[in-house]
Amino acid sequence: MARPMTMAEKILAAHAGLDEVVPGQLIECNLDLVLSNDVTAPIAIKEFKELGLEKVFDREKIALVPDHYVPNKDIKSAEQAKVVRDFAHEQGITHYYEVGCMGVEHALLPEQGVVVPGDLIIGSDSHTCTYGALGAFATGVGSTDAAVGYATGRAWFKVPESLLFNIEGELRSGVTGKDIILHIIGMIGVDGALYQAMEFRGSAISNLSMEGRMTISNMAIEAGGKAGLIEVDDITREYLDGRAERPYVEYHSDPDAQYAHVYNIDAADIVPTVAFPHLPSNTRPASEARDITIDQAIIGSCTNGRIEDMRAAAEVLKGRKVNPNVRCIVIPATQLVYRQCIEEGLTDIFLDANCAVSTPTCGPCLGGYMGILAAGERSIATTNRNFVGRMGDPTSEVYLASPAVAAASAVLGHIGLPEDLD
């Protein structure tokens, strides 16, 4: 009889063809998906070709999503995108998403049903851990590992220890998945889950939408996590119904599975939270940040660019104007979200409030384009990182928050809460 195992351990064991695994064990696993974008794929493609390989292991199990600097920012980014496009066409890659079809990768692939529960996924992008919200083990890797994944459909793993975050109770009004994960990162630090699988559970999690769950899993990496998993339940199944490309397997942690640490968190203790520069762990209640004036607000990204996020921002912005000293840039994460914004009248709300609305792109999140900060400027953003120079000049500052707080701050001209507008 196999030892009691966590979700992470069960998924890795299944993909290694083993009955059980233990933390620290080195295993080789079959992969369900290998993902790259326009920044990381060209390096992987170069490595793939230098190995003298001609064909990928399975053209249906590779996803190439140009999203960081597209629509092309400049000649260099156009060349990067062309490398990806040419390789996708040459290999007949099924899951290649051209401009006009693409979205921010970690919002797009769940939306399109490309990732499903029980999957083992590597992506040459650190926020690949987003897919853990669907009950998959998904983790970021370097481009060389991705190249080997393209070729063999396999990868080596060291089985991580698991941490359990048990969040029980009812969330306060206005508290979102973004606030939950910022609270956790503030509590344990940016290396508090280093090379460990973070598992999120409890009534506060089970009552969250899929969008909220994906926000939490997305930022597991900001605590050093190898993966961020949430078990499949009826909300997950409803999300996947009519969406999932293929059958899936649900893995649930055994009741007596061993965790390196269990964190019990009272949902009532979590408040709308802001991460101050220059670490996601430098958190404070949003109510204590009202003296921070801002020059820019970014609402979007793989963390908070889904339809629920757009609705939350629009609810705050409706009938209001962005402060004349602030630039507010709204970026729906996928074409479908963009279309929903139009159909639901959200785009009109954004435009009436004097927001700039963009086609899907990662753009400003990584300091790419569409919202670069000048020296000394400050931005509040629904993105995931606020490192030095992350969004522009090294002396600029990024404050991380939920869509509602970012929208309210855009109107106020300083960091604040929706209730400050009343």
What is 77-123 written as a DSSP string? Answer: HHHHHHHHHHHHHHHT-TEE--TTT---HHHHHHHTT-S-TT-EEEE
Nearest to 206 by CA among 139, 267, 285, 274: 267
Which segments of the chain belong to CATH 3.40.1060.10?
Answer: 161-231+253-271
Tell me the β-bridge partners of 120.
Answer: 137
Q: How far apart are the first and last CA of the chain?
A: 60
Residues of the chain with pLDDT under 70: 1
Orientation of helix 335-343 relative to helix 307-317, angle to 10° = 40
What is the per-residue pLDDT across 82-135, written as a single tens digit (0 to 9) for each?
999 999 999 999 999 999 999 999 999 999 999 999 999 999 999 999 999 999
* Domain 8-17+25-152 -> CATH class: alpha beta
Q: What is the dihedral of CA 362, 129, 220, 264, to 10 degrees?
A: 140
User: How many other C-beta atoms can be found within 10 angstroms of the C-beta atom of residue 400?
Assistant: 31
- Could you write out the DSSP letters of every residue in 191-252? TTTTTEEEEEESHHHHTS-HHHHHHHHHGGGGGT-SEEEE---HHHHHHHTTT-SS------
CATH of domain 161-231+253-271: 3.40.1060.10
3-state secondary structure of 46: helix
What CATH number does domain 273-415 carry, 3.40.50.261, 3.60.15.10, 3.30.499.10, 3.40.50.2000?
3.30.499.10
Tokens describing residue 402? 């939920």
Place of tokens 């900060």: 373
Q: Residue type for 263, please?
A: Y
Question: What are the distances in angstroms from CA 301 to CA 173, 304, 354?
Answer: 23, 6, 20
Determine the pLDDT at residue 164: 98
Which segments of the chain belong to CATH 3.30.499.10?
Answer: 8-17+25-152, 273-415
Q: What is the dihedral of CA 172, 175, 176, 181, to 10 degrees?
A: -100
Determine the pLDDT at residue 64: 97
> Is the bond leading into 261 cis (omega within 30 degrees of zero)?
no
